[in-house]
Chain A
């Protein structure tokens, strides 16, 4: 990277440029597994964001202490601690949602986004940048899967955040099943990447015109 990374840029990078769902294609398990309703997306996203921010911060702080050879087990311990906290918190205060998300909450431990950010970012950057990265990536993930979930919820069960919005609509059941997840994700990926490409092209054209 030629330009010096700033907190703002790092945050934006996670949110849009290297969006974990549509660009990096990380964390596909929960992306396909829980996005049958918009609320699921939000809770899953926020839980992941919390773990991501905390683990990024701590791994960044501990990056000079952790020996290189055993870094993966160390990361797992850090991540697993926060996942356990989230899991217990949800079991205590929102048991219904915890029941819906099921094993996907403990499975955050092995979520690729968290590992990838720990390994490729937090372990190499200072805590302020790691924090921004965790927040950006986490929110990017949250927004992506919530959109995905909202679309699947509308088409698959005719509801939006649990509210009936299409009276008389025959829900398309396949959208709430796994194939529907794949199809929606694929189409969203086409659209998001096409939009990104169009923006880049327009920006390049503008730069050329200015030069």
Chain B
């Protein structure tokens, strides 16, 4: 009758959710965008994705072994970082770009600050920012897709964002018709490899939402804020607004980067503030700053603010009510 009974403190049941499971869910959600990138940009996109993922996992493993830490490289979080970083690199970048970026993301941004959960900025985004500032000519040489004239080996002359920017500022000869809505949505446009296919990204987002990995607040507030700002400043030009929403890294950033647990607020109100802040910054950088795209910088800036936001929006314990009223 006795079966080696164990004594454990309550609670005695768990939900079964694990870090690993969550990270695997994110990977599943990122898969459609990866497949789309291979279709759009060919085999080199697959190579970059593979190199990023491998380097990230390997860096984490080696670092933890060297530092005599418990090896958590198997928890899939490095895979997520690798995928996100790869999606932020142009498909025709030389192979050392993803390697340097991955090592930087995992070693400096993640592990040196204490590993999973302790980093204060999103590793993939920080690495992208470093690559972008260091080798901007490589990182902004967006190739054409295989379906466009010239194919992958040619560098696109203008990204949709640049074209839309001209329309926004009212430059001569610029027209909204230069940018096709269907091309934007399906990803047949220049950009870094994972950001172009909005359909795939939105599908991934819906999966994450259904699996309760992310909640609606950050993505909806971020995208919503950008939409409202463009509507207001363009005189309610719905077409321009919609095309702005579907271009650049907004979808990738709002759904996958801004929702990173460790670097976004945990409170519900905090997530709304965070999302709105990301959206506002993104709009300001896109519309008025010298960079054409500001998604990563907007999110990184809000990453740094998120501990503060958490503190401002800390919940009041149930029952700690004001006695009057």
| B-binding residues in A (CB < 8 A) | 170-175, 177, 179, 183, 186-187, 190
Contact of B133 with A170 in the complex, beta carbons under 8 Å: no
Contact of B108 with A179 in the complex, beta carbons under 8 Å: no
- Top 3 nearest A-B pairs by Cβ distance? A174-B134, A172-B134, A174-B133
Q: How far is the CA of A187 from the CA of B136 in the complex (A)?
A: 24
Q: How far is the CA of A186 from the CA of B104 in the complex (A)?
A: 14
Q: Is B130 an interface residue (CB 8 A)?
A: yes
- Chain A residue contacts of B136, Cβ below 8 A: 173
Partner of B134, one of A173, A186, A187, A190: A173
Contact of A179 with B135 in the complex, beta carbons under 8 Å: no
Contact of B112 with A174 in the complex, beta carbons under 8 Å: no
Q: How far is the CA of A170 from the CA of B138 in the complex (A)?
A: 10
Total A-B pairs, Cβ < 8 A: 22
What are 22 pairs between A and B in contact, CB < 8 Å?
A170-B135, A170-B138, A171-B134, A172-B100, A172-B134, A172-B135, A173-B133, A173-B134, A173-B135, A173-B136, A174-B130, A174-B133, A174-B134, A175-B134, A177-B133, A179-B130, A179-B133, A183-B108, A186-B112, A187-B108, A187-B112, A190-B112
Q: How far is the CA of A177 from the CA of B133 in the complex (A)?
A: 9
- Chain B residue contacts of A170, Cβ below 8 A: 135, 138
Nearest CB of A to B89, in Å: 14
- Chain B residue contacts of A173, Cβ below 8 A: 133-136
Question: Looking across the interface, which residue of chain A has its beta carbon closest to that of B109?
Answer: A183
- Chain B residue contacts of A174, Cβ below 8 A: 130, 133-134
Q: How far is the CA of A172 from the CA of B108 in the complex (A)?
A: 16
Q: How far is the CA of A187 from the CA of B108 in the complex (A)?
A: 9
- Chain A residue contacts of B138, Cβ below 8 A: 170
Nearest CB of B to A21, in Å: 19
Question: Looking across the interface, which residue of chain B has its beta carbon closest to that of A170?
Answer: B135
Interface size class of B (residues with CB under 8 A): under 10
Counting chain A CB atoms within 10 Å of each CB, which of B100, B135, B136 scores highest?
B135
Given A170-B135, A175-B134, A177-B133, 9 more A-B residue pairs with CB atoms under 8 Å apart are: A172-B100, A172-B135, A173-B133, A173-B134, A174-B134, A179-B130, A179-B133, A187-B112, A190-B112
Question: Looking across the interface, which residue of chain B has its beta carbon closest to that of A172?
Answer: B134
- Chain B residue contacts of A177, Cβ below 8 A: 133
- Chain A residue contacts of B130, Cβ below 8 A: 174, 179
Nearest CB of B to A180, in Å: 8
Give B95-135 interface residues, CB cut-off 8 Å to A. Answer: 100, 108, 112, 130, 133-135
Q: How far is the CA of A178 from the CA of B130 in the complex (A)?
A: 12
Nearest CB of A to B123, in Å: 14
- Chain A residue contacts of B100, Cβ below 8 A: 172
Q: How far is the CA of A171 from the CA of B133 in the complex (A)?
A: 11
Q: How far is the CA of A171 from the CA of B138 in the complex (A)?
A: 12
Q: How far is the CA of A68 from the CA of B100 in the complex (A)?
A: 55
Question: Looking across the interface, which residue of chain B has its beta carbon closest to that of A173?
Answer: B134
Nearest CB of B to A166, in Å: 13
Question: Looking across the interface, which residue of chain A has its beta carbon closest to that of B138?
Answer: A170
Q: How far is the CA of A27 from the CA of B83 in the complex (A)?
A: 40
Question: Looking across the interface, which residue of chain A has its beta carbon closest to that of B133?
Answer: A174
Counting chain A CB atoms within 10 Å of each CB, which of B108, B112, B133, B134 scores highest?
B134
Nearest CB of A to B192, in Å: 18
- Chain A residue contacts of B134, Cβ below 8 A: 171-175
Nearest CB of A to B69, in Å: 15
